[in-house]
Amino acid sequence: MSDRAQLTDFIKTQALGLGFDLAGIATLGPAQTADEFENWLSFGYAGEMTYLERGAEKRRDTRLPFPGVSSAVVVALNYDGTAPDGPIARYARGDDYHDVMLDKLASLHRAIESHLGREVRGKAYVDTGPILERDLARKAGLGWFGKNTNLINPGIGSYFFIGSLLLDLDLEPDAPFETDRCGSCTRCLDACPTSALIAPRVLDATRCISYLTIESRSAIPLELRESLGNLVYGCDICQEVCPWNVSFSRELAAPELAPREDFIAPDLAEMLLDDEDGFRERFRNSPMTRAKRRGLARNIAVAMGNRGDSADIPALTRSSTDDPDSMVREHASWALEKLQGLAVIR
């Protein structure tokens, strides 16, 4: 075995030893899906996510983050698709995955330097930079793009985070994952409550429940509110119906991602009435801070209106009049009118 092959094998072994479920190597260069991503942006499917337009040069060529970078170690970490559904998406029920993944990638980086006995330039990404990591993951052999746009691995499904460690090392690349194993299945497209998957592998984020409840800072469109059901942060529906997840999802192995008890079956009325300090305390070190208090309160009000429980009326009444944010007050009023209408019908 060549020195290059031995080093590549060492890195993969270390990655798996740190708890990652998958590890592959990709040679850096022009991104295969850059044009497709630019077209997607041009159609307005990104909505308010204007930050996605930044860093176009690095997005097009993954050799640009720093001079001499040539290889990427691409990893996946399972977050438990076997868990029951609920108002909070499975990935967001524990500590912030960015911190967990970046800590593990930093440990991998240190292990590589220790093994080689010298400094190795590297940079880690976990979906916060311009790098098209899903593109890199497919190139590293980790899976294919499902019709729901998620990367799917034939051994573990799609309930996993992707991370990458870019290095100035010449490593042996894995064979890209070339096969499309979705076949004629359209379960994800058929199941989406808001019809956000407008075609296989084409997502209109402005209709996606994950976008509406996390990324959007605006009012949720009236015509989409009922379609959100009881979801308050993210959505797993297109993954839940995927046959690859039904058959191959794994239980959680990383203790750092263990769900918090009050995020599995949350007290929505209590969360709705949190002030800014209460929100920060409740969601400390949680990815749910992404939505901010006003966004989460907006989402909770809609979920309460949809679940039709008269026990929610006191909290909604208070929120509709006393919440400091006008958007939250409007959504709480909408939910209150919906509940009161249901009470009249009954």
Which residues are designated catalytic? 127
Angle between helices 326-345 and 292-307 (to 10 degrees): 10
- Tokens read off for 337: 């009118």
17 alpha-carbon distance from chain centroid: 24
Name the residue with tokens 């015509």: 223
Whole-angstrom distance, CA of residue 315 vs CA of residue 268:
9
- R_g of the chain, CA atoms, integer Å: 22
Helix, strand, or coil here: 5?
Answer: helix
CA dihedral 88, 91, 94, 98 (to 10 degrees): -130
Q: In this structure, is the dihedral angle defined by the CA atoms of residues 326, 328, 329 and 335, taken in order, positive or negative?
A: positive
Which two structure tokens, joined as six digits, stand for 262? 């009050």
DSSP secondary structure string for all residues of 270-300: HHHT--HHHHHHHTTT-GGGGGHHHHHHHHH
Contact 193, 229 (CB under 8 A): yes
Tokens of 287: 């990815």
Residues 304/333, Cβ–Cβ less than 8 Å: no
Contact 268, 125 (CB under 8 A): no
What distances in angstroms separate CA 328 from CA 174, 229, 302, 318, one per listed residue? 49, 17, 10, 11
Residues 6+ apart with CB under 8 A from 315: 268, 269, 272, 273, 304
